């Protein structure tokens, strides 16, 4: 018999909200708290891509070499802000150790299974009353311009086919057949028909509104100040609004997760990976299919009457400043791949930054901590947090319910670096 429990979810991004949703569906009482506003980490203004095509972990073969090439250029796709930081040094050491073919091959089927399960859950959530977040199943294009870009995209397409993800390699004529109203300057691309996109702010806002109608308590501007513990577990969190006790606790604090649990003497190797997005009004050229510009590492997503340009990975700590040089580099990359999508004046654009929680091996932390039996991790999703939000929430509910999770979580255990 399932026991009704009181659960506190720490973090109000897409993952925390999804956990609250599935926990509530399972019959539990849920309180969600967030240090700021709901979705304020990196959930509201990301690229909005739901991507089974992203089965290669961030720590992949060649990433260390590419990172060394890019890391000292402030307008490159991947940048590490030089600083003396022991946690960053440890993270980079683990990242280098994880960037092997063997580790990547082990992670790929797991990321595939997580993505496919999340895709199906998105479809179900999109049919709920009040949930219309523009979930659109048009696939995704990986566009390339150079021989090196083509080789990388085609190699990934081959790996995709090997693990059962459909990928079609297209030349320039194939791109035109797929998007006849768009003039591509890319020399070709890989089309992943099984991907989708949505408007992430609508997903967050509508899911929060749905939870509120179901008596889920949503407390914003409520940072965790500390914990009250018992042997092997947690009794309560301390907040500016008082002591909040519960039976179970879910850590979904994104890039802030390591700081949240430092009081518990838990060390999570998570680095904040800053990303940017620029949202502009729809122009005469408006692609139907979202794309990723292979060499530039920039995503271009249609969102109703707007277009969103998103990308970059900047390891600079919990730094929320905006570097306009990187913004201009992203905008300038677009017309090199798609004709007519010319750079816009930034005063007419909505510019945003968000901090994504990155683990050294590119796999999220999902599961119970050994030292605290009633603390569950749901963080570390890097650039695919919005894509994996529903499946993470579902897995958290299965853990709380004492079920065997539908997906093997061994590689995702939160204690794997301790």
Tokens read off for 308: 């969103």
Mean pLDDT of 29-41: 95
Could you give the C-alpha distances from 157 to 54, 106, 151, 192, 328, in angstroms and in order? Answer: 11, 17, 10, 9, 30
Backbone angles phi, psi at 256, to 5 degrees: -90, 0
Tokens read off for 306: 């707007």
* pLDDT of 380 above 70: yes
- CA triplet 389, 390, 394: central angle to 5 degrees? 120
* pLDDT of 1 above 60: no
CA distance 283 to 345: 13
CA distance 186 to 142: 10
The model's pTM is 0.96
Strand partners, 33: 10, 219
Q: How many residues are listed for the chain in this entry?
A: 418
Mean pLDDT, rounded, of the chain: 93
CA distance 5 to 248: 7
What pLDDT, on a 0 to 100 scale, did the predictor assign at position 284? 78
Each residue of 333-377: pLDDT tens digit?
A: 999 999 988 766 666 789 999 999 999 999 999 999 999 999 999
DSSP class of residue 227? E
Sheet strands (E) in 195-338:
196-197, 217-219, 226-230, 233-239, 242-245, 248-251, 271-281, 291-293, 298-303, 306-315
> pLDDT band at residue 75, thresholds of 50, 70 and 90?
low
Does CATH number 3.40.50.2000 belong to domain 55-85+135-196+270-358? no
Strands 6-10 and 271-281: unpaired
CA distance 9 to 31: 6
What pLDDT, on a 0 to 100 scale, did the predictor assign at position 370? 96
Strand partners, 358: 271, 381
Least confident span in 7-21, 76-90, 160-174, 266-280: 76-90
What pLDDT, on a 0 to 100 scale, did the predictor assign at position 84? 85
Q: Is 111 left (phi over 0), alpha (psi -120 to 50) or beta?
A: alpha
Could you give the C-alpha distances from 13 to 82, 185, 207, 255, in angstroms and in order? Answer: 29, 36, 10, 11
Instruction: Return all residues near 229 (Cβ < 8 A) that are at least 6 apart.
Output: 235, 264, 372
Tokens read off for 94: 């683990």
């Amino acid at each position: 018999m399932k026991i009704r429990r009181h659960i506190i979810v720490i973090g109000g991004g897409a993952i925390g909200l999804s956990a609250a949703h599935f926990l509530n569906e399972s019959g539990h009482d849920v309180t969600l708290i967030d240090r700021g506003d709901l979705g304020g980490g990196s959930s509201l203004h990301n690229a909005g891509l739901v991507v089974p095509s992203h089965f290669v972990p961030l720590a992949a073969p060649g990433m260390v070499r590419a990172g060394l090439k890019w890391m000292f250029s402030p307008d490159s796709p991947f940048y590490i802000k030089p600083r003396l930081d022991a946690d960053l040094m440890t993270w980079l050491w683990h990242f280098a150790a994880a960037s092997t073919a063997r580790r990547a091959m082990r992670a790929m089927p797991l990321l595939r299974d997580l993505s496919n399960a999340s895709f199906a859950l998105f479809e179900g959530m999109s049919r709920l009353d009040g949930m219309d977040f523009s979930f659109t199943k048009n696939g995704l294009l990986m566009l390339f311009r150079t021989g090196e870009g083509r080789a990388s995209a085609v190699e990934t397409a081959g790996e995709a086919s090997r693990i059962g993800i459909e990928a079609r390699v297209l030349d320039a004529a194939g791109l035109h057949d797929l998007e006849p109203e768009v003039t591509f300057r890319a020399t070709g691309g890989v089309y992943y028909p099984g991907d989708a996109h949505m408007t992430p702010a609508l997903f967050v806002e509508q899911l929060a509104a749905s939870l509120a109608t179901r008596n889920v308590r949503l407390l914003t501007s409520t940072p965790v100040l500390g914990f009250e513990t018992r042997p092997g577990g947690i009794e309560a969190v301390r907040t500016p609004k008082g002591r909040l006790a519960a039976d179970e606790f879910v850590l979904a604090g994104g890039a802030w997760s390591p700081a949240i649990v430092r009081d518990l003497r838990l060390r999570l190797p998570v680095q904040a990976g800053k990303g940017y997005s620029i949202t502009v009004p729809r122009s005469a050229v408006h692609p139907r299919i979202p794309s990723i510009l292979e060499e530039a590492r920039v995503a271009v997503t249609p969102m109703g009457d707007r277009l969103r340009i998103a990308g970059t990975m900047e390891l600079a700590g919990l730094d929320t400043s905006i570097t306009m040089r990187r913004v201009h580099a992203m905008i300038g990359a677009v017309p090199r791949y798609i004709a007519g999508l010319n750079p816009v004046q930034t005063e007419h654009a909505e510019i945003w930054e968000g901090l994504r929680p990155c683990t050294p091996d590119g796999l999220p932390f999902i599961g119970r901590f050994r030292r605290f039996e009633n603390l569950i991790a749901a963080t570390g999703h890097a650039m695919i947090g919005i894509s994996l939000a529903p499946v993470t929430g579902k897995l958290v509910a299965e853990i709380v319910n004492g079920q065997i999770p539908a997906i093997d979580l061994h590689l995702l255990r939160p204690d794997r670096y301790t």
